């Protein structure tokens, strides 16, 4: 099978939405392995984090240069899709629907808000992939999408997280945080508001704690500065900037080590999507401070703070620090809870249906 991927903002959509990146890499690893081709506008985008087996074709046709991205989507891209024998096309944005008979599937962003002008475009899609039942329900009510055309994947869980031995965790701390204990913020999307929330909460914690703990910030295992450089620039003027570590995994230091070695993780995610970063932390045995309300039904007991309130988050961080037995209670709750598996099978079944 040949699967195409397209977005006029491919670089941004891949770098800033880790779930899209993981889905594409997950597809390229299916057996039998499909041929996956990413079509994107412009030639200056670096897609280094894709699997080597994924082909990348920039839309650098002279027509695109002359008439812009709209011409590329309406004329150049349809011809390329036909020429390459694409059997299914994945999109990141409903506005990127292409004029083609090839079945098109939308990987809907967790933060998407329904717009009236998008409703006709949804009707042209063969399927929509969302990460939660709540988003599915909203899409049916607000955009009139047939429930049978919506697939819930509950996000792709990164392959990196998993059990890490205590010795490996200690090696990570020695190398990355100078042997200091640390909290880790590992969300899949960073905004100025979410970063300010975590930084202000950490400031409160530092003032109350009066020691040398660190704060590790990551983008689900990727260096957050790569995708959100304009957001993370504020750290240069942060009072405790020397205690901030921006982490991107490598062969020596993995995402699993980072999560497993953390004293606790922090999530600021408040949209309706599946909290994959929280699930990844739990898979490494690390409890996570989460905003209230939180979809607790599918997760073990977790320490919760008032969403958007740095004072509440800072207080909860301090409570965990001062009360090790409370932290152990949350860790034991993780161990007793059924594991959160990689639930991407819905996507494979959806596209697999097009093979027959």
What pLDDT shows up at residue 355? 39
φ/ψ of residue 43, rounded to 5: -115, 0
- 69 and 180 belong to one structural domain: no
Instruction: Name the token pair of 308.
Output: 């958007």
43 and 7 inside one domain: yes
Which CATH number covers residue 320?
3.40.50.2000
Q: Are residues 123 and 268 in the same domain?
A: no
Query: What is the tens place of the pLDDT at every residue in 163-218?
Result: 677 888 899 999 999 999 999 998 988 999 999 999 999 999 999 988 899 999 99
Look at residue 66 and tell me whether its pLDDT is greater than 60: no
Q: Which domain holds residue 272?
A: 166-336
- Compute the distance between CA of residue 236 and CA of residue 204 in angstroms, rounded to an integer: 18
Percentage above 70 pLDDT, the chain: 82
Q: Are residues 200 and 314 in the same domain?
A: yes
Q: Do 55 and 200 belong together in one domain?
A: no
SS3 103: coil
DSSP secondary structure letters along 119-143: HHHHTT-SEEEES-HHHHHHHHHHH
Same domain, 247 and 172: yes
Phi and psi dihedrals of 155, rounded to 5? 70, 165
Strand runs labelled E in the chain: 2-7, 35-40, 55-58, 88-91, 104-107, 127-130, 150-152, 182-185, 214-218, 244-247, 264-266, 288-292, 304-306
* Per-residue pLDDT at 25: 78
Q: In which band, very low, low, confident or very high, does the pLDDT at 60 lie, cut at 50, 70 and 90?
A: low
Per-residue pLDDT band for 63 (boundaries 50, 70, 90) equals very low
Instruction: Confirm if 221 and 255 have CB atoms less than 8 A apart.
Output: yes
Same domain, 273 and 235: yes
The verdict on 191 and 332 lying in the same domain is yes
190 & 326 share domain: yes
User: What is the number of structural domains in the chain?
Assistant: 2
């Amino acid at each position: 099978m040949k699967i195409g991927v397209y977005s006029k903002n491919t670089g941004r959509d891949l770098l800033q939405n880790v779930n899209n990146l993981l889905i594409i890499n997950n597809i390229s690893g299916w057996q039998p392995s499909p041929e996956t081709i990413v079509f994107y506008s412009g030639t200056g985008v670096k897609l280094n984090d894709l699997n080597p087996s994924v082909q990348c074709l920039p839309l650098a046709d002279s027509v695109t240069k002359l008439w812009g991205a709209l011409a590329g989507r309406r004329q150049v891209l349809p011809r390329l899709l036909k020429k390459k024998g694409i059997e299914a096309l994945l999109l990141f944005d409903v506005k990127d629907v292409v004029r083609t008979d090839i079945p098109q599937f939308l990987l809907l962003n967790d933060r998407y808000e329904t717009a009236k002008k998008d409703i006709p475009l949804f009707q042209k899609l063969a399927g929509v992939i969302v990460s939660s039942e709540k988003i599915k329900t909203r899409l049916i009510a607000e955009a009139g999408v047939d429930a049978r055309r919506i697939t819930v994947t509950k996000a792709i869980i990164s392959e990196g997280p998993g059990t890490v031995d205590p010795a490996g965790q200690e090696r990570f701390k020695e190398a990355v945080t100078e042997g200091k204990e640390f909290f880790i913020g590992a969300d899949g999307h960073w905004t100025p508001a979410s970063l300010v929330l975590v930084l202000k909460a950490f400031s409160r914690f530092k003032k109350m704690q009066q020691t040398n703990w660190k704060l590790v910030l990551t983008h689900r295992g990727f260096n957050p500065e790569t995708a959100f450089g304009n957001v993370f620039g504020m750290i240069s003027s942060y009072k405790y900037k020397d205690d901030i570590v921006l982490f991107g995994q490598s062969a020596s230091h993995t995402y699993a080590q980072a999560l497993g070695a953390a004293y606790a993780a922090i999530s600021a995610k408040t949209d309706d999507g599946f909290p994959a970063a929280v699930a990844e932390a739990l898979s490494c045995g690390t409890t996570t401070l989460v905003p209230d309300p939180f979809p607790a039904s599918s997760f073990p007991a977790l320490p919760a703070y008032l969403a958007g309130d740095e004072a509440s988050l800072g207080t909860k961080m301090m409570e965990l620090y001062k009360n090790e037995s409370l932290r152990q209670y949350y860790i034991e709750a993780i161990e007793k809870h059924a594991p959160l598996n990689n639930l991407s099978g819905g996507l494979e079944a959806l596209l697999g249906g097009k093979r027959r």
